[in-house]
Amino acid sequence: MIVIGIIGIVFPTVISLTLNFFVSSLFFLSALALTYSAFVCRTQTLMMWIKPFILLVLALLILFHPAVVVSTLGIILALYFLFDGFAGIALSVEMKPAKGWFFMLLNGLLSLLLGAIVLAGWPLSSAWLVGLLIGISFLFDGIALLAIAGNIRATE
């Protein structure tokens, strides 16, 4: 997570476009699988071809109009960061006597801040901001997980 986070911070647009391509590829593969299923089915009806057609159209839309998708991902990421922030803070309160709770608290506070930044700059800055925020979140999630993992003792 730390390595992906650093890549996202250095090349934020690459991470945004990679995410866009990944989602488009998933839709395209789903369309292919459903097309194959509809083709080999004994009782072929028009209704069996609608879902693969819709998935193919969505895959092409996502692939050829990344700005729309990235701006949508921007608002979804804002919600993710806000929920992640609240969950991280709640987890840190639950962990408080254990070592590493402070890193989880910082991670939660950072996620809340990232959510507010996304909402403030949305939709104009979504192209680079989505990748940058994913990178920052992955970096700090990785650091928090390393801090917590360093305090876990192996049970025998």
CB 114 within 8 A of CB 141: no
Give the model's pLDDT for residue 153.
59
Global pTM exceeds 0.75: no
Return the number of other C-beta atoms located less than 10 Å from residue 54's C-beta.
13
Residue 155 banded pLDDT, cuts 50, 70, 90: very low
Nearest-CA neighbor of 62 among 49, 51, 71?
71
CA–CA gap between residue 141 and residue 144 (Å, rounded): 5
> What confidence score (pLDDT) does residue 123 get?
76
10 Cβ neighbours under 8 A, 6+ residues apart: 135
Q: Please say if the pLDDT value at position 1 is more than 70.
A: yes
Among 151, 140, 58, CA closest to 107: 140
Segments in the chain forming alpha helices (H) = 2-10, 12-40, 47-64, 66-95, 101-121, 126-149
CB atoms within 10 A of CB 138: 20
Query: What is the per-residue pLDDT across 56-105, written as a single tens digit (0 to 9) for each?
Result: 999 999 889 888 888 887 888 788 889 999 999 999 999 888 888 898 89
